[in-house]
Structure 1
Amino acid sequence: MYLSRLVPDPSSHDFLRDLGDLQHMHRTVMSGFPEVTGDTPARSHHAVLWRLDRARTSQTLYVQSGTRPDWGHLGDYLARPAEVRELSPVLDALRPGRLLAFRLLANPTKRQHPEHQRDPGWRGGRRDNRYPIRKPEDQLAWLIKQGQRHGFIVPAGADTRPDVAVSPAARRTGRQTGRRANTITVDPVRYDGHLVVTDPDALREALGTGIGPAKAYGCGLLTVAPPRSA
């Protein structure tokens, strides 16, 4: 796998366009990879995940992929040349019990049937709708449940509470193209903290395929690093 670090030029017209529309940002991310034929979507074929990290004075776009990307065509979109590194050393170093710092921008949701479908007399089809999880304690519970599935736990911090900060991020929107032209709405949540590896294979899978929904729209990329000092 590869991890690209892109620093967009904040004055770039194309970047400002992408900031306002998730579909445009998705298209820019996918422009770094060859087109594919067949029924498999290009994002799945190249195992692409991405995340835009926002700071006060700059923004950084991280793109993870199974295929080595080519960002040479972005030109003035970037404030500096793109950095691309292999993730094999990170993946190979995962061991049970290892402590790591992590960041995850996720779209925690819950499935719920519309009210009329809960009526025992309802004879129409059943459709699961996804609803964003709003309460911080429920957002934390969602992460802990994901950890159980994906090979990690969140340890207790110095105050005995889970060692993770849960922060709501700004709502992101966009509009799909084509005949349906649906509106895209994502309510992301950022998780920053520490994790302990319990199942290296499951965690490698999660690092490669992402966690939660809205992976095409900047959610699901889990990044890890050596633990931060106290």
Structure 2
Amino acid sequence: MYLSRLFPDTTSHDFRRDHADLHHMHRTIMSGFPDVTGNTPARTHHGVLWRLDRTRHGHTLYVQSHTRPDWSHLDHYLTRPADTRDLSEIVETLQPGRTLAFRLTANPTKRLRLTDQRDPNCTGGRRDNRYPIVKPEAQISWLINQANRHGFIIPTGSDTQPDVATTSAPRQTGKQHDRGNTVSVDQVHYDGHLVITDRTTFTTALFTGIGPSKAYGCGLLTLAPAQR
């Protein structure tokens, strides 16, 4: 597994175009990978997940993949060469009981039935569709449920609350020009700590992502040593 860090030039016309349109950003990221044949989407074939983080100095774009990417054609897009690391040795250290700091941008949603239309945790439009979860406590509950399915837990902090903070981002959109569809994603940023409970399930989640909208900047779980 590979993790690339890219440092976009925020004054670049191409980056500003991508920043304003999720589908353009998706296309730029996939340009770093070989074309594929068959019915499997290229993103799935190469195991691509990505996240755009805002920093004090601009933005950092993280791209995770099974295939080693080639970013050399994006010299005009970046302020410095991309940094790509092989994470295989790090993945081998992930064992049950280990506590790690994490960051995740996700699209927490809930599928509503007719009787759920007045659910205060969600906003939305049509019945039987997915709706974004908007209340912070419900966003955290969504992540805790995901954790239980994906081989980790969110521990409690000194205040007995789950050790995670959420920040909601403005709605992101994109235009699928080949289909004429508009993509809308309500991103939530999670920062906190997790404890691995099942190595196999956890590494699968690490490789494949968490939640919906994985093609559009959601689902990538990045890890760091626990902050004491």
Fold in common (TM above 0.5): yes
Q: Which structure 2 residues correspond to residues 47-66 of structure 1 after superposition, within 5 A?
A: 47-66=47-66
1:27 aligns with 2:27: yes
Residue 85 of structure 1 is matched in structure 2 by 85
Cα offset, 1:89, TM superposition: 1.7
Matched to 2:157, the amino acid is G
Q: Which structure 2 residues correspond to residues 1-230 of structure 1 after superposition, within 5 A?
A: 1-113=1-113, 128-178=128-178, 180-229=179-228
Q: Tell me, in whole angstroms, the C-alpha distance in 2 between the residues paired with 1:203 and 1:27.
A: 28
Matched to 1:137, the amino acid is E
Q: Tell me, in whole angstroms, the C-alpha distance in 1 between the residues paired with 2:107 and 2:30.
A: 20
Contact conserved, 1:114 with 1:129, CA < 8 A, in 2?
A: no
Q: Tell me, in whole angstroms, the C-alpha distance in 1 between the residues paired with 2:113 and 2:8.
A: 41
Q: Tell me, in whole angstroms, the C-alpha distance in 2 between the residues paired with 1:36 and 1:99.
A: 37
Matched to 1:223, the amino acid is T
Higher mean alpha-carbon deviation, 74-83 vs 52-61, is at: 52-61
Q: Tell me, in whole angstroms, the C-alpha distance in 2 between the residues paired with 1:130 and 1:227.
A: 34
Cα offset, 1:128, TM superposition: 3.7
Q: Report the structure number with the largest CA radius of gyration.
A: 1
Contact conserved, 1:96 with 1:197, CA < 8 A, in 2?
A: yes
Q: Tell me, in whole angstroms, the C-alpha distance in 1 between the residues paired with 2:185 and 2:9.
A: 24
Partner-residue secondary structure (3-state), 1:33: coil
Cα offset, 1:114, TM superposition: 5.2
Matched to 1:3, the amino acid is L
* TM-score in terms of structure 1 length: 0.92
Q: Tell me, in whole angstroms, the C-alpha distance in 1 between the residues paired with 2:60 and 2:220.
A: 14
Q: Tell me, in whole angstroms, the C-alpha distance in 1 between the residues paired with 2:114 and 2:53.
A: 34
Q: Deviations over 1:3-54 (max 9, x none)?
A: 0000001111100100000000000000000000111100000000000001
Q: Tell me, in whole angstroms, the C-alpha distance in 1 between the residues paired with 2:34 and 2:207.
A: 19
Identity %: 66
Root mean square deviation, CA, Å: 1.4
Q: Tell me, in whole angstroms, the C-alpha distance in 1 between the residues paired with 2:92 and 2:137.
A: 33
Residue 124 of structure 2 is matched in structure 1 by none
Cα offset, 1:57, TM superposition: 2.5
Contact conserved, 1:30 with 1:43, CA < 8 A, in 2?
A: yes
Partner-residue secondary structure (3-state), 2:180: coil
Q: Tell me, in whole angstroms, the C-alpha distance in 1 between the residues paired with 2:67 and 2:128.
A: 33
Cα offset, 1:170, TM superposition: 2.1
Higher mean alpha-carbon deviation, 43-52 vs 83-92, is at: 83-92
Q: Tell me, in whole angstroms, the C-alpha distance in 2 between the residues paired with 1:143 and 1:7.
A: 29
Q: Tell me, in whole angstroms, the C-alpha distance in 2 between the residues paired with 1:132 and 1:156.
A: 25
Q: Tell me, in whole angstroms, the C-alpha distance in 2 between the residues paired with 1:48 and 1:67.
A: 8
Which sections of structure 2, spanning at least 5 residues, go unmatched? 116-126
The runs of at least 4 aligned residues of structure 1 exceeding 6 Å deviation read: none
Cα offset, 1:76, TM superposition: 1.4
Q: Tell me, in whole angstroms, the C-alpha distance in 1 between the residues paired with 2:216 and 2:128.
A: 20
